[in-house]
Structure 1
Amino acid sequence: MSTRSRAVLLSAVAAVAALTLSACGGGISGGGGDTNFVTGKNGIDTVPEGKRVAAPDLSGKTLDGKRLDVAGYKGDVVVLNFWGSWCGPCREEAQYFAKVSKQYQDKGVRFVGVNTRDTSLTPAVAFEKEQQLTYPSLYDPAGKLMLRFAKGTLNPQLIPSTLIIDRHGKLAARALEALDDTALLKMLKPVLAEK
């Protein structure tokens, strides 16, 4: 093998390794300019109340074929989790989302999943059943809902991504990594405490 061939091969291996380390999949590049959000030491991006932007239209069919429009949850805080059945970190965090969703179901908090890049309903439905997720998930195999978020906002960029939408339908917080219950509650509680 020539030196040039080795260099090309090593570059390709390095590129694959970098993609593998960036959560489950490549994301949509966001940020740039004055975004009004701050990344805390815990990796959670937050936006102060007066600087938030409205969440985009997040509506469609759920995994069980029902129609869901997240805007209908205005008045409640919404935890929006982008996941795929094929995603290892999504499997790790699902138990925590199931637990916290049950703890907060009567406290003005709604959980909504967005299943993406599953080309069939079968693995997505099996994932929900296996993980005991009782909240609805929008079915978005092509990732079109992810693309509705404006660049420079708290947009989902990776799988998994979690966003918190405040009671006014505005984007308040985002995490671009798998979360346990402690990290999820660190995102949720400050927004839930707002008047």
Structure 2
Amino acid sequence: MSTRSRAVLLTAVAAAAALTLSACGKGGISGGGGDTNFVTGKNGIDTVPAGKRAAAPDLSGKTVDGKSLDVADYKGKVVVLNVWGSWCGPCREEAQYFAKVSKQYADKGVQFVGINTRDTSTTPALAFEKEHGVQYPSLYDPTGKLMLRFKKGTLNPQLIPSTLIVDRNGKVAARALEALDDTTLLKMLKPVLAEK
């Protein structure tokens, strides 16, 4: 095997390993180093005190149904961001709970937004939403560009599924790197919703 072929093979193996590590799974660790200002609770939810939160990055683009969406338009509401893929087993497990809680909190100042990633077309994403009763919008992000906008060392989503709670001021308040049921989702959401 030539040196060039070996280098290409090693690069491909490294890329596959990176994709595997960030793929659909349960649980995970925080990225980055330095003082991130967040605390991981016993329930696997990372939180940041109100005065030390980082602003959410620009999260805008086309939804899986072709409409334009900018998460910044929801400033003043608490936003639940859920990163998911139709191919992801844990995403299918949690979808019913997100659909349920999004309906319960629709008139309480809460907006749910999905970020669909790694689906090669919108067809499976739309089928997933229909099957699981997901009625809130989802940005279509097949290559993961939106996730890369989160600064390293912040509460950036790193696994699929990941869930982030953005406070009324557009700052990331909490994160979970695993599939959630309605009880755990509400444990993340309620404290941020209670903030004035």
Q: Is TM more than 0.5 here?
A: yes
Contact preservation (8 Å) 2:64, 2:126: yes
Runs of 5+ consecutive residues of structure 2 not aligned to the other structure: 1-12
Structure 2 CA distance, aligned partners of 1:77 and 1:178?
20
Structure 1 CA distance, aligned partners of 2:123 and 2:155?
30
Match of 2:56 in 1: 55
Instruction: Kindly report which structure 2 residues correspond to 1:33-44, keeping only aligned pairs within 5 A, or say none.
Output: 33-44=34-45
Structure 1 CA distance, aligned partners of 2:85 and 2:29?
16
Q: How many residues align?
A: 179
Match of 2:6 in 1: none
Structure 2 CA distance, aligned partners of 1:98 and 1:176?
18
Match of 1:3 in 2: none
Contact preservation (8 Å) 1:166, 1:191: yes
Structure 1 CA distance, aligned partners of 2:66 and 2:22?
34
Secondary structure of 1:145 counterpart: helix
Contact preservation (8 Å) 2:81, 2:164: yes
Using a 3 Å threshold, how does the CA distance of structure 1 residues 166 and 140 change in structure 2: closer, same or farther? Answer: same
Match of 2:125 in 1: 124
Structure 1 CA distance, aligned partners of 2:23 and 2:42?
19
Relative to the length of structure 1, the TM-score reads: 0.87
Contact preservation (8 Å) 1:28, 1:156: no
AA paired with 1:31?
G
Structure 2 CA distance, aligned partners of 1:97 and 1:31?
28
- Give the Å deviation of 1:32: 1.1
Runs of 5+ consecutive residues of structure 1 not aligned to the other structure: 1-11
Structure 1 CA distance, aligned partners of 2:118 and 2:29?
14
Structure 2 CA distance, aligned partners of 1:28 and 1:85?
23
Aligned residues: CA RMSD: 2.2
Match of 2:10 in 1: none
- Give the Å deviation of 1:21: 11
Structure 1 segments (4+ residues) deviating >2 Å: 19-25
Give identity over the alignment, percent. 83
Match of 2:181 in 1: 180
Structure 2 CA distance, aligned partners of 1:194 and 1:107?
13
Structure 2 CA distance, aligned partners of 1:171 and 1:122?
30
Contact preservation (8 Å) 1:28, 1:158: no
Contact preservation (8 Å) 1:114, 1:138: yes
> 1:138 and 2:147 equivalent?
no
